[in-house]
A and B are shown apart, each in its own frame.
Chain A
Amino acid sequence: MSRTAAPAETTPPTPPPSAPAPTGAWSRFDATGLPLLVARLVVGITFVVMGLAKVEDPIGFLKLVREFELAPNLPWLLNGIAGLVPWLEIWCGGLLVLGVGVRGAAGTLSILLVVFTIAIQDRGATLAAHDGVSFCAIAFDCGCGGGIVNVCRKIGENLGLLVLALTAVVSRSRRFCLRHALLGR
Chain B
Amino acid sequence: MRSLTAILAEVALVGGAGLLVALAANAATDGIELGRDYFPVVAVPVSTTGVAAPAVTTGSAAVEAASTGVTTGGVTTGGVTTGGVTTGGVTTGGVTTGEVTATGSSAGEASATDGDAAQQAVADRLAAKGLRPIFFDEVAETFNDPMRGYGLHVFIDARDDSHYAEGHIPGALAFDYYHPDASIAEVTAALASAMKVVIYCNGGDCEDSEFAALFLQGHVGDPSSLYVYPGGITEWKAKGMDVERGARDSGDIVSGQVVSGDESR
Contacts and interface: CB of A to CB of B under 8 A. Distances in A.
A67 B207 CA distance: 12
A62 B32 contact: yes
14 contacts: A59-B160, A75-B38, A78-B38, A84-B19, A85-B22, A88-B21, A101-B10, A105-B14, A130-B85, A131-B85, A133-B97, A140-B95, A140-B96, A147-B94
B18 A87 contact: yes
Place the interface of chain B in its size category.
Answer: 35 or more
A148 interface: yes
Contacts of A104: 7, 10-15
A131 B97 contact: yes
Interface of B: 6-8, 10-15, 17-19, 21-23, 25-26, 29, 31-39, 41, 64, 68-70, 83-85, 93-100, 160, 178
A79 B23 CA distance: 11
Given A84-B19, A139-B98, A79 B69 contact: no
A62 B33 CA distance: 11
Interface string A122-154: 010011001101101111110000011010000
Q: Chain A binding site: helix, strand, loop or mixed by DSSP?
A: helix
Contacts of B96: 139-140, 148
Given A139-B98, A147-B94, A101 B14 contact: yes
Contacts of A76: 34-35
B45 to A, nearest CB: 20
Query: What are the 6 A-B residue pairs with the smallest beta carbon separation, nearest first?
Result: A104-B14, A141-B94, A83-B32, A104-B10, A87-B22, A107-B11
Contacts of B23: 84
Contacts of A178: none
Given A79-B36, A140-B94, 6 more contacts: A76-B35, A78-B39, A87-B21, A107-B11, A136-B98, A148-B96
A95 interface: yes
Contact of B98 (A58, A78, A84, A138): A138
